[in-house]
Structure 1
Amino acid sequence: MKVIGKSPGKLYIGGEYAVVETAYPAVIASVDRYVRVVLSSRSGAVGTLHSNQEADQTFDWHREEGRVVYKEDMPFQLVAMAQQVAERYLAEKGQPIQWAYDITIQSDLDHVSGQKFGLGSSGAVTVAVIQAVLNLGAYPWQPIELYKLSVMSQLFLHKKGSFGDLAASSFGGVIAYTAPDRAWLRGELKTRRLSDLVQMEWEGLSILPLEIPRELQWLVGWTGRPASTDYLVQAIQDVVHQEEREIAYVRMLEDSRICVVRMIEACRTGHAAMFMECISENRRILQEFEKGVGTVIETPLLQQLCQLAIEQGGVAKSSGAGGGDCGIAFVDDLHSERLIREAWSEAGILPLEIRVAERVTYGN
Structure 2
Amino acid sequence: MPDSVINTGQVVHVSVPGSIMLLGEHSVLYSQPAVACAVDRYMRVQVELLTSRDIVVESALGPYCSHLDNLQESISHRFLVEILRRWRETLACGLKISIASEFSHTVGLGSSAAVTVALVSALRAVCGLPLDQQEILRSSVEVVRAVQGRGSGTDLAASVYGGVIAFDADTLQVRRLSSELPIDLYYAGYKTPTTDVLARVAEESVRVPGVVDALYRLMGDVSREAITAIKADDLSQLGRCMNVYQGLMDALNVNDAVLSAIVYGLRALPGVMGAKISGSGLGDCVCALGDAGAGLSGFERIPVSVSPVGVSVDVFPR
- TM-score (normalizing by structure 1): 0.78
* Residue 284 (structure 1) aligned with residue 239 (structure 2): no
* Residue 120 (structure 1) aligned with residue 110 (structure 2): yes
Structure 1 residue ranges, 4+ long, deviating more than 6 angstroms after superposition = none
User: Which protein is richer in strand relative to its size?
Assistant: 2
The counterpart of 2:28, out of the listed 1, 19, 32, is: 19
Deviations 1:124-155 (A, max 9, x none): 11111111111222321211111100111123
* Residue 81 (structure 1) aligned with residue 82 (structure 2): yes
C-alpha contact (below 8 Å) 2:117/2:311 kept by paired residues = no
User: Which protein is richer in helix relative to its size?
Assistant: 1
**Equivalent-residue separation in structure 2 for 1:261 and 1:19 (angstroms):** 12
Q: Is 351-360 or 156-165 further displaced after alignment?
A: 156-165
Question: Which residue of 1 is the match for residue 7 of structure 2?
Answer: none
**Equivalent-residue separation in structure 1 for 2:136 and 2:93 (angstroms):** 22
Question: Which residue of 2 is the match for residue 199 of structure 1?
Answer: none
* Residue 101 (structure 1) aligned with residue 95 (structure 2): yes
CA, structure 1 residues 117+75, in 2 after alignment: closer, same or farther (shift >3 Å)? closer
- TM-score (normalizing by structure 2): 0.89
| Percent of aligned positions that are identical | 23
Cα drift, residue 237 of structure 1 = 1.9
CA RMSD of aligned residues (A): 2.0
CA, structure 1 residues 138+270, in 2 after alignment: closer, same or farther (shift >3 Å)? same
C-alpha contact (below 8 Å) 2:68/2:84 kept by paired residues = no
Deviations 1:312-361 (A, max 9, x none): 13221111111111001112xx5xx213x1xx2x22x1111111112337
Question: Which residue of 2 is the match for residue 185 of structure 1?
Answer: none
**Equivalent-residue separation in structure 2 for 1:46 and 1:217 (angstroms):** 45
Deviations 1:41-79 (A, max 9, x none): 22223231121122xxx3222233xxxx32235631111
**Equivalent-residue separation in structure 1 for 2:311 and 2:94 (angstroms):** 28
C-alpha contact (below 8 Å) 1:226/1:325 kept by paired residues = yes
The counterpart of 2:12, out of the listed 3, 19, 32, is: 3
**Equivalent-residue separation in structure 2 for 1:228 and 1:361 (angstroms):** 25
**Equivalent-residue separation in structure 2 for 1:283 and 1:63 (angstroms):** 45
Structure 1 residues not aligned, in runs of 5+: 181-203, 291-296
Question: Which residue of 2 is the match for residue 275 of structure 1?
Answer: 238
**Equivalent-residue separation in structure 1 for 2:73 and 2:140 (angstroms):** 21
SS in 1 for 2:222: helix
SS in 2 for 1:176: strand
* Residue 352 (structure 1) aligned with residue 302 (structure 2): yes
**Equivalent-residue separation in structure 1 for 2:313 and 2:279 (angstroms):** 28
Relative contact order, higher structure (CA 8 A, sep 6+) = 2
